[in-house]
């Protein structure tokens, strides 16, 4: 049964079409994740569903008595309000639920003015209040922003158990997988519904696009046939001939399916000397609280480090010290002479300016060096989905996600060989995140990131440091999934050790020796498993590419300029193939050893 219907809505901002005759129905039990490129109208749709905005045409029909709760991305608060005056006071039962939610979200002082809290903390207060209210439909705009792993796990469990309707915008792909049972994709003013979580949605979307392309190929084929018939000089005297002419017009007016634009980024290698970043006995305290205690580490060339831990433990403080924004209380941080750092802050700088988008980028670089040569600031903006008309609009007119994308671009074109990224996935859409992950994986430099986005960590980092809450960092190899498994094993080993100490204290040394000498369990990391699954197809594609380049070289044997380009491209493809073959040997050897270990 539909409890909320969106019927033939249209919405235009300026000359930008957000929705065009779009329809969508929400049923009881739906837990819907909204996906789309920033600026396509995800937040606008939530605001219209909440009744805050109205469509230009069409209507939104709600079931009588429907109770809707809405958590915006940037909640507004009364002036001079405290946590208590804003969130508490409705009833004893409601206050108890609010206090429980506040505790789960790490807010324990209720007399603090909201103005003294960070943006993330104020948002948690708003979330605690919203989740304690009575509602049939829950609207959430980026609910996982500013939440650490433990809080995200709590919110996931809460939303999975909730029996009402959820409509949410989020970039957290693991969160979508675990909570949603339906995906709503917004693309070019249209809405596409998929009865699936995020993983299944990817498959269904690929099938939909392939079907659209197949239909377009068939339309083009029939159109060519009809045009040939028309060229032969048809006589429109019979009903059949008139029908064919009408069919020809309909085919000519048919719409070609348009693929969604994606951000294009091109990694350029920047020279890096032997000395990178060295931290020697680094310590940092605030008000008697020790955030970082005697931390020693030398960052390796091309390393990708992920830093995780509960909110307030010191993650941002550590990377700000590395970036040179704040100084340690003890120890020292040495930066190599060739190191150039690009720092992406958790909160972007004030972008509410009347300056045009293109001027904001030109102030950083008029031209950007890529592997294909220099491109202008305008061309780089187009690669980041800022169309020429948007480039000449004021920055303050951009959506929150578009501002984040612009800020990200400003960091990536700075010519850095070390990227220090603080919550890079905040306010970015999933297509942009996917391309950012690909870019960072091909980047010839160092990446150090603080992130609560588990999917992002799995795809980007090869080592994780976890804050333990006492200023110390525990090191884990691999991505987030590898970290979870390793931590579970470590806790299991600790529990077993404690049990042995209690039950058989005289055998403590024997137990310790057994653990030290037992063979390490072989397994693929998350990234290695993905690579192993696709490497055969990658090799086949490279072999086909080389074969086609050979054909093209024969066809252009007399064109020296074109032949030179093709030769260079072939050499590059052959180098990639050789690298892939070496990787194939390693991965298959590892797979055989893993299988032998399982069979033993």
The values of phi and psi at residue 84, to 5°, are -65, -50
Nearest residue to 184 via CA among 204, 164, 214, 209 = 204
Q: Can you state the angle between helices 480-503 and 526-555, rounded to 10 degrees?
A: 150
Which whole-number Å values give the CA distances from 458 to 81, 335, 454, 462, 528, in the listed order? 40, 27, 6, 8, 11
Dist CA 197 CA 175 (whole Å): 10
What does the pLDDT read at residue 13?
83
Q: Do 446 and 302 meet the contact criterion of CB atoms below 8 Å apart?
A: yes
Q: Which two tokens stand for residue 266?
A: 């091109």
Q: Bridge-partner residues for 69, per DSSP?
A: 138
- Classified as helix, coil or strand, 25 is strand
Task: Spell out the per-residue pLDDT of the chain, length 600, in tens.
Answer: 789 999 999 999 877 788 999 999 999 999 999 998 888 899 999 999 999 999 999 999 999 999 999 999 889 999 899 999 999 988 888 899 999 999 999 898 899 999 888 778 888 999 999 999 999 999 999 999 888 888 999 999 999 999 899 999 999 999 999 999 999 999 878 889 999 998 888 888 878 777 767 766 665 665 665 566 555 555 444 444 555 555 555 555 555 555 555 555 555 556 788 899 999 999 999 887 889 999 999 999 889 999 999 888 889 999 999 999 999 999 999 999 999 999 999 888 888 788 899 999 998 888 877 766 788 889 888 888 888 888 998 998 888 888 888 999 899 888 899 999 999 988 888 888 888 888 888 888 999 999 999 999 999 999 999 998 788 999 999 999 999 998 888 777 766 555 545 454 443 343 333 333 344 456 777 777 888 888 888 888 888 888 888 888 888 877 878 888 888 888 888 888 878 877 887 787 778 777 777 776
What does the pLDDT read at residue 375?
83
pTM, two decimals, is 0.71
Cβ neighbourhood burial of 487 (10 Å; 0-12, 13-18, 19+): middle
Dist CA 456 CA 480 (whole Å): 9
What does the pLDDT read at residue 222?
59
Which is it for the CA torsion 454, 278, 336, 462, positive or negative? negative
What does the pLDDT read at residue 236?
46
Q: Which two tokens stand for residue 207?
A: 């099938």
The values of phi and psi at residue 189, to 5°, are 85, -5
What does the pLDDT read at residue 561?
82
Dist CA 425 CA 5 (whole Å): 31
The values of phi and psi at residue 400, to 5°, are -60, -40
Q: Do 137 and 2 meet the contact criterion of CB atoms below 8 Å apart?
A: no
The vertex-41 CA angle with 38 and 46, nearest 5°, equals: 115
Q: Do 299 and 278 meet the contact criterion of CB atoms below 8 Å apart?
A: yes
Q: Do 191 and 162 meet the contact criterion of CB atoms below 8 Å apart?
A: no
């Amino acid at each position: 049964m539909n409890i909320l219907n969106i019927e033939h809505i249209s919405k235009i901002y300026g000359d930008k079409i957000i929705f065009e005759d779009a329809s969508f129905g929400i049923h009881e039990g739906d837990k819907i994740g909204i996906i789309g490129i920033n600026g396509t109208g995800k937040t606008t749709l939530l605001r219209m569903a909440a009744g805050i905005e109205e469509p230009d045409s069409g209507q939104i029909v709600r079931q009588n008595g429907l109770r809707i709760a809405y958590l915006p991305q940037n909640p507004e608060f009364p002036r001079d309000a405290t946590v208590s005056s804003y969130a508490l006071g409705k009833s004893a039962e409601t206050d108890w639920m609010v206090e429980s939610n506040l505790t789960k979200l790490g807010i324990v002082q209720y007399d603090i003015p909201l103005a003294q809290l960070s943006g993330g903390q104020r948002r948690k207060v708003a979330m605690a209040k919203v989740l304690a209210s009575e509602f049939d439909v829950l609207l959430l705009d980026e609910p996982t922003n500013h939440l650490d792993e433990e809080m995200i796990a709590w919110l996931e469990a809460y939303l999975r158990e909730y029996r009402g309707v959820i409509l949410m915008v989020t970039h957290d792909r693991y969160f979508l997988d675990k909570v949603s049972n339906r995906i709503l994709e917004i693309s070019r003013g249209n809405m596409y519904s998929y009865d699936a979580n995020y993983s299944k949605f990817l498959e269904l979307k690929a099938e939909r696009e392939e079907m659209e392309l197949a239909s377009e190929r068939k339309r083009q084929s029939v159109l060519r046939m009809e045009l040939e018939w028309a060229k032969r000089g048809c006589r429109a005297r019979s009903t059949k001939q008139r029908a064919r002419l009408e069919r020809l017009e309909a085919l000519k007016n048919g719409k070609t399916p348009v693929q969604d634009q994606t951000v294009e980024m091109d990694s350029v290698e920047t020279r890096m000397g032997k000395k990178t970043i060295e931290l020697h006995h680094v310590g940092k305290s605030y008000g008697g609280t020790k955030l970082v205690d005697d931390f020693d580490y030398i960052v390796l060339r091309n390393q990708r480090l992920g830093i995780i831990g509960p909110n307030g433990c010191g993650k941002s403080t550590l990377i700000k010290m590395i970036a040179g924004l704040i100084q340690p209380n003890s120890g020292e941080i040495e930066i190599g002479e060739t190191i150039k750092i690009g720092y992406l802050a958790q909160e972007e700088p004030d972008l509410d300016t009347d300056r045009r988008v293109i001027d904001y980028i030109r102030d950083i670089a008029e031209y950007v060096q890529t592997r294909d040569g220099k491109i202008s600031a305008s061309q780089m903006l187009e690669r980041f989905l800022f169309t020429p008309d948007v480039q000449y609009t004021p920055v303050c007119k951009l959506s929150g996600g578009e501002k984040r994308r612009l800020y990200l671009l400003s960091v990536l074109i700075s010519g850095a060989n070390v990227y220090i990224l603080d919550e890079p996935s905040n306010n970015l859409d999933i297509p942009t995140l996917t391309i950012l992950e690909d870019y960072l994986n091909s980047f010839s430099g160092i990446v150090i990131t603080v992130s609560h986005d588990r999917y992002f960590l799995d795809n980007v980092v090869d080592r994780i440091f976890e804050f333990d809450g006492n200023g110390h960092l525990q090191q884990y190899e691999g991505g987030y999934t590898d970290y979870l498994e390793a931590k579970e094993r470590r806790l299991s080993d600790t529990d077993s050790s404690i049990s042995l100490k209690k039950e058989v204290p005289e055998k403590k040394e024997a137990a310790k020796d057994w653990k030290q000498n037992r063979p390490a369990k072989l397994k693929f990391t998350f990234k290695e498993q993905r690579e192993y699954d696709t490497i055969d197809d990658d090799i086949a594609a490279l072999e086909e590419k080389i074969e086609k380049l050979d054909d093209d070289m024969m066809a252009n044997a007399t064109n020296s300029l074109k032949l030179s380009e093709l030769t260079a491209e072939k050499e590059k493809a052959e180098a990639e193939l050789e690298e892939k073959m070496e990787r194939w040997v390693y991965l298959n050897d590892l797979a055989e050893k893993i299988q032998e270990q399982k069979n033993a």
